[in-house]
A and B are shown apart, each in its own frame.
Chain A
Amino acid sequence: MKPIRFYLAMILARFSYIVLKILGKNATQFPGVIAMKVCPNILRYLEVSDKVIAITGTNGKTTTTNMIASFLTAQGIDLVANNLGSNIEGGIISALLNSTTFFGRNHKEMAVLEVDERSSPYIFPYINPDIIVITNLFRDSYKRNADVEFILSILEKSIPKSSLLILNAEDPLSSNLCKDNPRKYFSIAPQEFEEEVSDNIIKDLVYCPSCGNKLIFDFNRYHHIGFVHCERCDYASPTADYLIWKIHEDQIIIKEGNNYYPYQSEASRITDNYNKIAVISVLREMGYNHEDIANYFNKIKVVSSRYSETIVKNKRVISMLAKAQNPVANSLAFDFIRKQKSWGSISLILMNETYTHKQNFNSIENMAWIYDADYEYLNIPSIKKILCMGQHNLECKIRLLFAGIDEDKIQLLEPSYSLDITTDTDTTIIIHGAKNIAVARQFKDMLVRRIKDEN
């Protein structure tokens, strides 16, 4: 028997959903929040699908979730997903409201849910996932996530004993979670011409998770990601069940057991490949064969809000998402830029704050994370100009100076909805956070138009 509160919550949440839809607003979070206000333990009464796949971790959750959901939908599975990125309690409840009847009965075959790692204790016990993907764990927002030890302890306690874990073999933090759970590992083999990145300012794991001795990196891809072993005990990175064995220009080769499977793939960032192999691991564990998975992803181009590039009149304009408050995401973006050989001279627009384009006096943003991110990577001759936009643009400039960047290269931009700059370099890159996606896209279009109009 469900309490009256539950039905009241259902009425209000569904009503708010309809109103939001009529107003043309996004209803991925608010209805769930309303429901939770009225009936705090509503998740207990919402029936979930027979099959639940959850995706958590610091970076790559949204893309991984979207790829899994899109493949399964194409197979004709009627599923619910929170693929618009509302991954805390309100968002999960909103998604489940869409997959249940008024009486809380589930009517979907499957649920594919992105779950914020911080919210997992309030979600996992109720949705009891069959499969949980943990993409990776890094330090993230200081405010929400504190540090990785805290997140690890939360996940350790909240992951149900029966969930099959799909883990990153190269992340010695998350790969050691819940040792009694069934598990499969994914990984990317070091490539012949791949350079190690071992000069990051931060490493969230330095010492052996078993004995505390210093970990030895056999191959350090970035931060604490890579292949490790311990010289004091027998700890070592686990062997991958699903491996990206080779990365070619237009193809990746997956190794599973002793078999090799080709997938089409555009030259892409390493993080895209981690997402891909995580997705393939999940779908393989669900029983799909490589041919079907490859066929689908060969046909479909995964739309990315993360990276967009336009070439006009031989000039390149790029917008790149790197979550604000997340030093690892930003360092990866900076590393990607420094490794490009064909981009010529570069102007960089840094939109580092949560909101860079409008004055925000609701709270004072802690910008300390920029000292955990590797701005030093931007200290290269091809970068001619760095423009810092936002309320704390001066703090961003100071960070760049400490990275050794020439003061003459740095310009300050006030928060604005327009971008008044010259496009005199071969490449212009806008780096922005998740709250600035729309405005960054607008800036990019503005720059493209300006270049088109130039004589």
Chain B
Amino acid sequence: MKIEILFGEVCSLYGDHGNIMFLEKTFGKNNINKTSILETPKFITEKIDLIYMGAMNEKTQAQVIDKLLPFKDILLEKLDNGLKALFTGTAMDILGKTIVEENGTTLEGLNIFDFETRIKKRPRLNCAIYGLYKNIPIVGHKTQFTQTFGDNSENYFIKVQKGMGINKNTNLEGFIYKNLIATNITGPLLIMNPQFSENYLGVEIPYKNLLLAAQNKRIKDTNLVKDVFY
């Protein structure tokens, strides 16, 4: 499996590095390409099986959209041909139609999904997440200024039991298109969710039993706290 980490030097704000470490450990460093925001992504011209992008700030979102927009058709074609793509945290937002700031300033997204992301700086939204992807448990955290609005009833990533979906009025989190998964869940998603990682990546994963035990502990804790928002 050939993997490309997109813009890790600026798209790794909230512990997303954990995912990169996990991929390096699972597939070997030789199979991981790290592309900086100043470079042209390799998946456009080379055979890449998985692209990964993590959380970034608003300024970087604009840069990333500028960078990827010219290659949107190529990206869609690759996705139709089976390319895996995992976008975590605010990386999800760039795949929608628009990102709207509090003062109304609007940033046009890649428009791969039909949703709008709205920024509100206070209060910041922080919550733990527990939900199901198919029948696989997913735990994690959200830490963001945004809520996203759009219909994901047919293509959501997980049904949330604790926490929130793409906005506070829904329990449906994230978007899926073929092998593209986009979710506002941040941090080391692949480490915290071993069954998901195995299922999505289609390989044996390292430290599986420990990862499962840690995940079970989180699921238990999530059910013990009164409020997963903090």
Contact = CB atoms under 8 A, between A and B. Distances in A.
Contacts of B225: 361-364
B221 A361 contact: yes
Contacts of A391: 217, 221
Interface in A333-372: 361-364, 366-372
Contact of A368 (B14, B36, B210, B226): B14
Interface stretch (B15-23, B150-158, B174-182): B15-23
Contacts of B222: 364
A446 B129 CA distance: 39
Interface in B186-230: 186-188, 191, 207, 210-211, 213-214, 217-218, 221-222, 224-228, 230
B207 A401 contact: yes
Interface residues of A, number: 33
B126 interface: yes
A392 B188 CA distance: 14
B186 A364 contact: no
B143 interface: yes
Contacts of B22: 402
B57 A150 contact: yes
B25 A402 contact: yes
Interface stretch (B5-13, B27-35, B109-117): B5-13
B96 to A, nearest CB: 20
A191 B21 CA distance: 33
A199 interface: no
Contacts of A142: 13-15, 126, 143, 186
A146 B121 CA distance: 10
A270 interface: no
A203 interface: yes
A331 B16 CA distance: 17
A363 B230 contact: yes
Q: Which of A203, A395, A401 is most buried by chain B, counting CB atoms within 10 A of its CB?
A: A395
Contacts, number: 103
Interface in B112-133: 121, 124, 126, 128
A397 interface: yes
A201 B143 contact: no
A368 B15 contact: yes
A366 B227 contact: no
Interface residues of B, number: 44
A363 B141 CA distance: 12
B18 A368 contact: yes
B58 A394 contact: no
Contact of A398 (B10, B38, B143, B210): B210
B128 to A, nearest CB: 4
Contacts of A207: 10, 37-38
A367 B186 CA distance: 11
Interface in A81-139: 139
A38 interface: no
Contacts of B58: 149
Contacts of B71: none
B149 interface: no
A395 B221 CA distance: 13
Contact of A146 (B15, B124, B207, B226): B124
Interface in A218-274: none
Contacts of B191: 371, 398, 402
A364 B228 contact: yes
A398 to B, nearest CB: 6
Interface of A: 139, 142-144, 146-147, 149-150, 201-203, 206-207, 214, 361-364, 366-372, 391-392, 394-395, 397-398, 401-402
27 contacts: A139-B13, A142-B143, A146-B124, A146-B143, A150-B121, A207-B38, A214-B38, A362-B226, A363-B225, A363-B227, A363-B228, A364-B221, A364-B222, A364-B228, A366-B15, A366-B126, A366-B187, A367-B15, A368-B16, A368-B187, A370-B15, A372-B15, A392-B217, A394-B210, A395-B214, A398-B207, A402-B18
Closest 9 CB pairs of A and B: A368-B15, A368-B187, A371-B18, A363-B230, A364-B128, A366-B141, A371-B15, A149-B57, A394-B214
Interface of B: 9-10, 12-18, 21-22, 25, 36-38, 57-59, 121, 124, 126, 128, 141, 143, 145, 186-188, 191, 207, 210-211, 213-214, 217-218, 221-222, 224-228, 230
